[in-house]
Amino acid sequence: MQKLSLALLFCLGLAGFAQEVQFDYDRSANFGAYKTYQWIDYREVPVEDQILDRDIKRSVDAQLASKGLRRVESGGDLVVGYKAAVSQEKEFNSLGGWGGPGGFGWPFGSWGNTRVTTSTIEVGKLIIGMFDPATKQLVWRGSASKTLDIKKDPDKNYRNLEKAMAKLFKSYPPGAGKR
């Protein structure tokens, strides 16, 4: 449970300029027809920190409102949920030998020792899913991920979350009105 709370904390630390964002969508969905949405809880583990849960929802709500969608408690044209996760990945850094491009003896390679360092880094990921309740199909999915950097300032965390969500929803809706 504490790991999930940490995952959400890390996700709030996503900096708007440094994270990787990706999205995909159902090309047959008519995004122009969606006017309302409702939240569902499709996370596998309940969130211990309700403040973080509200912050994530508030940030997504602001983005969707700016795109013309209105939040409702039930009967929405879309159903929205999120998941947060932290994974450990290996990072490799190398420092080459002496010389300029190609090193001494170019074009045959560099001369000197090459040093490779390995470290384990934690990567936080926040995934937003939007489902069409009529078809029960995923119509849009976006994710933001970043190497984690714990920030102690909650106001800064929230601003960073807002930046990440603005970047993620920048291209929403894709192909509005197209079928």
Confidence of residue 155 (pLDDT cuts 50, 70, 90): confident
**Helix/strand/coil percent split, the chain, to 5:** 25, 35, 40
| Amino acid sitting at position 117 | T
* Number of separate domains in the chain: 1
CATH number of the domain enclosing 151: 3.30.160.670
* Cα distances (angstroms) measured from residue 13 to each of 55, 77, 112: 12, 31, 40
Neighbouring residues of 45: CB distance < 8 A, sequence distance ≥ 6 = 1, 4
Interatomic CA distance for residues 2 and 13, integer angstroms = 17
Give the whole-angstrom CA distance, residue 67 versus residue 85.
Answer: 26
Label the pairing between strands 115-132 and 78-95. Answer: antiparallel
Helix (H, G, I), strand (E, B) or coil at 85: strand
Name the residue range of residue 38's domain. Answer: 2-86+123-168
Q: What is the mean predicted confidence (pLDDT) over 102-110?
A: 55
pLDDT in tens, 63-95: 999 999 999 999 999 999 998 877 776 767 776
Q: Is residue 47 part of a domain?
A: yes
Choice among 88-97, 136-145, 161-170 with the minimum mean pLDDT: 88-97
Tell me what percent of the residues of the chain surpass a pLDDT of 90. 38
Q: Is residue 97 part of a domain?
A: no
User: Which residue in this structure is represented by tokens 């959400």?
Assistant: 8
Q: Is residue 152 part of a domain?
A: yes
Q: Quick one: DSSP state of residue 14?
A: -
